[in-house]
Structure 1
């Protein structure tokens, strides 16, 4: 990693973006406690303890592995004139718009792969095994998932031909959007409906965390939900009070130790402990 890339990460991500994200998380945490969308099922204190322990390792992996890899991939694209945007040579405004769309579509594809490929799901289920859904869930990822994503997301940035600044700006918006749509914040319905025409909202993503398989296998978008619309994976029809959050085969509060070793275990069947398959009646 060159000095210029490290300086860019420090200036844009560490000194500007990260503090804003931290303030955003605290604000969302306060607001979702005051204006709750879904009733809690698990102890908030225990969830905070577990999710903070799991997320701390993921944040380290993000900053020390994924962020440098994304910037390095973008740097190589420019140095060796690789990637779609390097071929198209679009005017600056269009270049920024297309770079954002390309990166966001890549995030959609990566999220979908995490649900479709058994090996990737073994890591991603750590995020979905939370019995409640709030802003702390947005940070609860297994560090192994973050490390594995380096190969895919770094390769995608290289193929797209984005710049280091573009990939960092996208990553900051990506993290902010992830925090927002995982929150348990009850937005007025007309505001939620208006936002859902373009971006992922808490109600929309709440459906994705349902124990019903068809609902979990929907709403993969991270920022713009156009990708779910194009691939017909959009669901907006399930009321939040009818969503049973989590994965069916884990119906207890899994502590940090259980979650960290979860990827080492065989993929479980999509059933409740009593053998019943969750269905929407």
Structure 2
């Protein structure tokens, strides 16, 4: 299994990426949740250009990616799950839950630590919210995220299959919950009891700081509920809310690739948003 996953990891991930991206793009076309603020052609070409840069950079520096680290941990006997006897299914489920919690903690950190926020605001500076927003991260944040993932894998010792599944699910869920799509209210309410929905995560991309500092989850919604960072709806409503950062409202800064790459090196206010009541709205 390890050999198969390692040999086909890139093809598996690319296949799922293409399929989910295509499905979300079609869904956005047929049932958009919110009118777009800027040109989709400009945003998509530049956001996807950033994806290409990040993919090439990761493949150049870490050819085996997170799956390779899981294989190394298995071979060396690193990590908790490589040193305890548990059923295979339990190891996979445990690993995916722990990895998701680690991603949630990382998301908290990139908002809380000023230096890391400089990198993460590339993601938040998008003037619209759609499937490509979920893929839009600065190359330095992508590298940092991979190194954190390596550390978690080394400590946890997850099954190789679990890491492969988690990478596919994380990428797919990032595209889903950043989708500019409309779900029936009842379905959204049912889904968000377990996973992060587009309406739930859109709140996180508000220009209001208290809303920006809520709903940090990418996969499971439980972490925000457990730790008091859950917010059900944006105060301005989904159709009227303003997406992005208050300090980057010009398309040349927020939508064009050269501007995106320079955002971490520009001075701006603490969280580039509108200060409001910072209490958590449940």
Q: Does 1:8 align with 2:9?
A: no
**Per-residue deviation, residues 67-126 of structure 1 (Å, max 9, x unmatched):** 724223322322232212223321122111111111111111111111111111111111
Report the alpha carbon displacement of residue 224 of structure 1 after superposing the two structures with TM: 0.8
SS of equivalent residue, structure 1 residue 241: coil
Contact 2:92–2:161 (8 Å) recurs in 1: no
Q: Does 1:23 align with 2:22?
A: no
Which of 80, 83, 97 is the aligned partner of 1:84? Answer: 80
Give the number of equivalent residue pairs.
273
TM-score by length of 2: 0.89
Report the alpha carbon displacement of residue 201 of structure 1 after superposing the two structures with TM: 0.4
Q: Does 1:169 align with 2:170?
A: no
Partner in structure 2 of residue 180 of structure 1: 176
Alpha-carbon distance in 2 for matches of 1:117, 1:270: 10
**Per-residue deviation, residues 173-197 of structure 1 (Å, max 9, x unmatched):** 1100001000101011111111101
Partner in structure 2 of residue 109 of structure 1: 105
Q: Report the CA distance shift for 1:16/1:269 in structure 2 as closer, same or farther (over 3 A).
A: closer
Partner in structure 2 of residue 241 of structure 1: 239
Alpha-carbon distance in 1 for matches of 2:190, 2:63: 32
SS of equivalent residue, structure 1 residue 114: helix
TM-score by length of 1: 0.90
SS of equivalent residue, structure 1 residue 103: helix
User: Where do 1:62-73 residues align within 5 Å?
Assistant: 62-65=58-61, 68-73=64-69
Q: Does 1:144 align with 2:140?
A: yes
Q: Which runs of 4+ in 1 moved over 6 A?
A: none
**Per-residue deviation, residues 6-60 of structure 1 (Å, max 9, x unmatched):** 763341x322331122121012111112211112111112212221222221222
Partner in structure 1 of residue 118 of structure 2: 122
